[in-house]
């Protein structure tokens, strides 16, 4: 196998340092930037190109705007229309970064794709499998969004930042005089930089989303909502209802155009059903086992019994009831620092 590595470079400090580290490790490196949409992207591509030039690396730009619109943006908007809460970063990793970009890299003769994610990959001789592990910097760990990597993808992926802290990464960037050494990190979805999902969906689809009823569990009308896409499961603010104590969105019904409202105790679930699953440590789960399950990037892991109930289905039963999360989010299964696998939440089970 050759030691040619394509570096996915976004113009940020993490991917820039990943490029430097990969070059230091002896790989023949080329930087690559995915052009996914028009907003602000010329700046990102220019920043990535400047870092690549400083490192003496060739730099390529791939126009994946059509695929990104179809595979990520369209699916994001369609999911919201159905009352779901998707994670577009996971879709982008699956379809674009470790899909189209990796395909291009392999077609061009590169042996590896390196990214600036905070996680670790290693080969386990005993299992005969590639493993995905949490980053050493727990505060920056991104293994959650990488659960969909297959054995083939893990085998040719490099994650140079997995053993470093964010402070160490910025220090390397300073030492190399990268202009982005102190660039602020965005916490928003890249194609919704202002965080206004409803405005993006209306603009993207050209659809209108009419007002409807807020209802309680018994179906009684409590008031009027502004349109389904303005609400997500667990939301507390922005409803304008006076119910005597804090109220939350407990359900979304596109068919009836209603938003079900309840209280904190109504948000708890006993388990989940997952689809579009990917297992990493094993090819399949032959028996129910206890693991730790994470239902969101910022949420804590929770103990649960995990059972594979079909070729593409996992049943999660929590040891203790958990606050619900949106359909379409990912649930990722951990055994200590190892990512066992995960899937997308297709159903929540009542408490």
Give the integer Cα–Cα distance in Å for 155 and 148: 13
CB 18 within 8 A of CB 162: no
How deeply is 104 buried, as exposed, middle or buried, from its count of CB atoms within 10 A (0-12, 13-18, 19+)?
middle
Give the integer Cα–Cα distance in Å for 326 and 342: 15
Residue 332 β-bridge partners? 294, 342
Give the integer Cα–Cα distance in Å for 119 and 93: 14
The packing angle between helices 197-205 and 74-81, to 10°, is 110
Query: Which residues, other chains included, contact 128 with Cβ-Cβ below 8 Å and sequence gap of 6+?
Result: none
DSSP string, 211-278: -EEEE-TT--EEEEES-GGG--TT--SS-----SS--EEEEEETTTTEEEEE-GGGGEEEEEEEEEEE
Give the integer Cα–Cα distance in Å for 22 and 136: 18
DSSP helix, strand, coil percent of the chain (3-state; round to 5):
30, 30, 40
Active site residues: 92, 190
CB 340 within 8 A of CB 291: yes
Helical (H) or strand (E) element with 67: helix 65-68
Query: Which residues, other chains included, contact 91 with Cβ-Cβ below 8 Å and sequence gap of 6+?
Result: 71, 72, 75, 76
């Amino acid at each position: 196998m050759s030691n040619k590595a394509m570096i996915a470079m976004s113009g940020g400090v993490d991917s820039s340092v990943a490029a430097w580290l990969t070059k230091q490790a002896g790989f023949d490196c080329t930087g690559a930037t995915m052009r996914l949409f028009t907003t602000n992207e010329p700046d990102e591509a220019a920043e990535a190109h400047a870092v690549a030039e400083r490192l003496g690396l060739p730099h390529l730009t791939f126009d994946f705007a059509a695929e990104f619109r179809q595979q990520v943006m369209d699916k994001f908007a369609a999911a919201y229309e159905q009352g779901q809460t998707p994670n577009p970063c996971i879709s982008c990793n699956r379809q674009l970064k470790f899909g189209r970009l990796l395909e291009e890299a392999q077609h061009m003769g590169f042996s590896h794709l390196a990214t600036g994610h905070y996680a670790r990959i290693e080969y386990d001789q005993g299992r005969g499998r590639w493993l995905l592990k949490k980053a050493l910097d727990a505060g920056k760990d991104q293994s959650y969004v990488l659960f969909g990597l297959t054995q083939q993808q893990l085998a040719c992926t490099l994650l140079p930042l997995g053993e470093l802290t964010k402070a160490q990464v910025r220090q390397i960037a300073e030492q190399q005089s990268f202009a982005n050494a102190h660039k602020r990190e965005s916490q928003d979805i890249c194609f919704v930089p202002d965080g206004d999902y409803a405005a993006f969906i209306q603009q993207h689809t050209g659809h209108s989303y009419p007002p409807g009823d807020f209802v309680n569990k018994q179906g009684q009308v409590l008031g009027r909502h502004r349109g389904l896409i303005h609400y997500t499961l667990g939301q507390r603010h922005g409803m304008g209802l006076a119910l005597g104590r804090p109220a939350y969105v407990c359900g979304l019904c596109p068919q009836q155009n209603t938003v079900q409202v309840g209280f904190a105790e109504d948000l708890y679930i006993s388990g989940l059903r997952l689809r579009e699953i990917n297992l990493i440590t094993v090819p399949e789960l032959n028996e129910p086992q206890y693991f730790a399950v994470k239902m969101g990037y910022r949420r804590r892991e929770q103990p649960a019994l995990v059972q594979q109930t079909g070729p593409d289905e996992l049943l999660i039963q929590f040891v203790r009831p958990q606050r619900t999360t949106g359909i379409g989010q990912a649930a990722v299964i951990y055994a200590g620092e190892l990512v066992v696998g995960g899937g997308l939440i297709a159903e929540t089970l009542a408490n």
